[in-house]
Amino acid sequence: MSDSYRTIAAPAHAKLTRKKSRFIALLYPVSSPEAVKETLERLRREYHDATHRCFAYRLISGEVRADDAGEPAGSAGSPILRALEGADLYDALGVVVRHFGGVKLGIGGLIRAYGDAIRGAIAQAEIVTRVQQAQVEVIFPPELSSPVMGLIHRVGATVGEIDYNSHGRVVLLLPRSALPGFTDQLQEVTGNRARVRET
């Protein structure tokens, strides 16, 4: 399993007009359902006069959702989601705000308009690659400091806090896929005397 994934570095936007309907495409980096909800609530207030505010998002956690927001089923949220999937973006929210211009576009026209609008925003976005990290706490007897720290440095983990009291304690970051192997090696070098806890 790969730890790296594509997302956007900052919000991006694009606009298009089809048969007098105006479409404003907005793309946001989001990392949780709560962030999605907050962004959608802010846009609801900001674009309160819009006819529709359709959206889709993909989170690296696996959560995916598309919403047509009153447009015919499958004509708005799905093309936005397909554009996010086509660009292989995660932790991204695509919203397309529509101001109706008085001329109906039909289902095919809506699908094209919503898809083209969000693809326009994706084209404007700065795409970055991120790595899924796990933050873990390692507790171990102080006399095992040398093998523990040696292993931490060998696996290329980023060390945060280090404490030595009655036990040694290290907080570190490492790629999520490396965690099972790190845990196994840690037990091996400490004779099962260390504890690992994801924080």
Assigned fold of 133-198: Alpha-Beta Plaits (3.30.70)
Do the domains at 4-130 and 133-198 have one common CATH topology? Answer: no
d(CA 193, CA 90): 38
Domain ranges of the chain: 4-130, 133-198
Q: What is the CATH number of domain 4-130?
A: 3.30.230.30
- pLDDT at residue 1 in the model: 44
Q: Determine whether 137 is exposed, middle or buried from the number of CB atoms within 10 Å of its CB (0-12, 13-18, 19+).
A: middle
- pLDDT at residue 2 in the model: 64
Crossing angle of helices 77-86/106-124, nearest 10°?
Answer: 40
- pLDDT at residue 175 in the model: 83
Residue 49 has which token pair? 């006069």
- pLDDT at residue 89 in the model: 96
**Exposure b/e, 180-198, CB count within 10 A at least 16 = b:** eebbeebeebbeeebebee
d(CA 152, CA 99): 55
Q: What is the pLDDT along the chain (199 residues), one digit of tens a residue?
A: 467 899 999 999 999 998 988 999 999 999 899 999 999 999 999 999 898 999 999 998 889 999 998 898 999 999 999 999 999 999 999 999 999 887 788 889 999 999 999 999 999 999 999 888 888 999 999 889 899 988 988 887 888 888 888 888 999 988 888 888 889 999 998 999 998 888 8
